[in-house]
Amino acid sequence: MRKQIAAANWKMNLTLAQGEQLLDEIIAAPHSLSNNQLAVFAVPFPYLTMAQQKLSGKQNVFVAAQNCYSKKSGAYTGEVSVEMLQSIGIQYVVLGHSERREYFNESNHFLAEKVNICLEYNITPIFCCGEPLHIREADTQNEFVGKQLEESLFHLSAGQITKVVIAYEPIWAIGTGKTASNEQAQEMHAFIRQQFAAKYGEAVANEISILYGGSVKANNASAIFAQPDVDGGLVGGASLIANDFTAIINALK
Q: Which residues are catalytic?
A: 97, 169
DSSP one-letter code for 3: P
Can you tell me the distance from the alpha carbon of 237 to that of 140, in angstroms, rounded to the nearest whole number? 28
Residue type, 5: I
- Three-state secondary-structure class, residue 7: strand
Question: In Å, how far are 33, 131, 239 from 173, measured between CA atoms?
Answer: 27, 10, 16
Can you tell me the distance from the alpha carbon of 90 to that of 32, in angstroms, rounded to the nearest whole number? 22
* Burial readout 235-249 (b: 16 or more C-beta within 10 A, e: otherwise): bbbbbbbbebbbbbb
Question: In Å, how far are 138, 233, 246 from 8, measured between CA atoms?
Answer: 31, 8, 11
Residue 72: CB atoms within 10 Å: 12
For strands 165-168 and 210-212, give the pairing: parallel
